[in-house]
Structure 1
């Protein structure tokens, strides 16, 4: 990645310039059997559409707090980078009542209703499927995002020194996210585009977010993000590590 990258959105732009066709996020849900692989280009397209939804339809501005009540999932990773693109603060598991926008999975809808601002619901179904019936008081992400533009331009430049992420009570600027991700990448043994990290960590800690997105992105590598990994036996895990050409793991 470029030494001049100062925000997570910068890291994604550099990855797109370097090799748009390579895998970036491979997602498994071992409770459902789902597997989804997104190239850098496909992931960046989802981010652009989501950022346009966030900035345009949801009227989010730099500094606005977006409570992400979501598990470790490829769509959560998209929302993290969309917030970074707009300049909004991604608040992982944050208080919906204090948020300007809330983004919720199907299991946290009741908590999300505390938000007096815009509410978005994600069904988290395979292939980004929609809810059979949109939850009352929410916009269905899978319904709203496809029509959004494929290119994103923020209304105002994103300041890398402004808050970008809140996780486990700690607030980080965009520059701090990038700096810590680079340091973590070195500790995890991620050295470049061939690096491939398998993570079974949740997204409710910095360690989980870094292993599950930011550190691989910071080094130009990729992540195999596994939800419900505990349901996978040791032999099956070993086979996945081999078949996915994993070079490093973060399991606990």
Structure 2
């Protein structure tokens, strides 16, 4: 990160400027065997496309609230940074009925229908695959995002002192989020090139920090593991070795 970074989007821009080719998010689902690795450049491209979808097609504005009903997943990380890029508050696990728009996985579609605004659904299939049939009342993210622009510019500057994230009863501004991420990176002993393996869900600040924000702030990367309990001790040891993990949180 740079000293002037005050939002998560700033952190990503600094990472992109420093080393776009290095890994940023390596995702495993130990229920399906899926593995996806995204470099900083590839991740930033997904974020730009998603932010363009959010700002353009969905007409989201700074201060709008987005109920994010997704598990710990690489596409969830993309949405978190896209929200930051636009100035939208990412309300993780938030009430769709009180949100301006909602982004849902396949298991929370019924709850997501309480949102009266725009609704986006993610199939969470390997390689970002589409739904076999688009859920009624939703846009399919995998259909909508590929045609979006590869570069993003917000219509209005994002204020780092406005709310950026809500999770587990905690609401943080962009600047507060960055400060917390930097502090957590220090506690985890992360630095440039570090590889943090996280098996924590994304429903708390601790899970979001370990699974995205702290490694990003440190100039490191995350090995994000869903259903890690299925791996077993030997499998975990092998993954730590294979992925050159430097720190582990579960």
Give the secondary-structure state (helix, strand or coil) at the position aligned to 1:79.
helix
Ranges of 4+ aligned residues in structure 1 off by more than 6 Å: none
Deviation, 1:191, is 1.7
> Partner residue of 1:190?
190
In structure 1, C-alpha distance between the alignment counterparts of 2:238 and 2:145, rounded to whole Å: 35
> Partner residue of 1:43?
43
Count of residues paired in the alignment? 250
Deviation, 1:21, is 0.3
Q: Deviations over 1:5-60 (max 9, x none)?
A: 00000000000000000000000000000000000000000000000000000000
1:239 matches 2:249: no
In structure 2, C-alpha distance between the alignment counterparts of 1:101 and 1:245, rounded to whole Å: 39
Give the secondary-structure state (helix, strand or coil) at the position aligned to 1:26.
strand
Give the secondary-structure state (helix, strand or coil) at the position aligned to 2:237.
helix
Give the secondary-structure state (helix, strand or coil) at the position aligned to 1:135.
coil
In structure 2, C-alpha distance between the alignment counterparts of 1:137 and 1:228, rounded to whole Å: 30
In structure 2, C-alpha distance between the alignment counterparts of 1:248 and 1:87, rounded to whole Å: 31
Q: Deviations over 1:92-116 (max 9, x none)?
A: 0000000011000000000000000
In structure 2, C-alpha distance between the alignment counterparts of 1:249 and 1:158, rounded to whole Å: 33
Deviation, 1:155, is 0.3
> Partner residue of 1:248?
247
> Partner residue of 2:180?
180
Gaps of 5+ in 2: none
- TM-score (norm: length of structure 1): 0.99
> Partner residue of 1:84?
84
> Partner residue of 2:212?
213
Deviation, 1:169, is 1.2
Give the secondary-structure state (helix, strand or coil) at the position aligned to 1:165.
strand
> Partner residue of 2:125?
125
- TM-score (norm: length of structure 2): 1.00
Give the secondary-structure state (helix, strand or coil) at the position aligned to 2:150.
coil
Gaps of 5+ in 1: none
1:59-74 aligned within 5 A: 59-74=59-74
Give the secondary-structure state (helix, strand or coil) at the position aligned to 1:47.
helix
In structure 2, C-alpha distance between the alignment counterparts of 1:88 and 1:172, rounded to whole Å: 12
In structure 2, C-alpha distance between the alignment counterparts of 1:161 and 1:123, rounded to whole Å: 33
> Partner residue of 1:139?
139
In structure 1, C-alpha distance between the alignment counterparts of 2:187 and 2:3, rounded to whole Å: 18
Q: Deviations over 1:61-102 (max 9, x none)?
A: 000000000000000000000000000000000000000110
In structure 2, C-alpha distance between the alignment counterparts of 1:168 and 1:28, rounded to whole Å: 24
CA RMSD of superposed structures (Å): 0.4
In structure 1, C-alpha distance between the alignment counterparts of 2:225 and 2:55, rounded to whole Å: 29
In structure 2, C-alpha distance between the alignment counterparts of 1:107 and 1:169, rounded to whole Å: 22
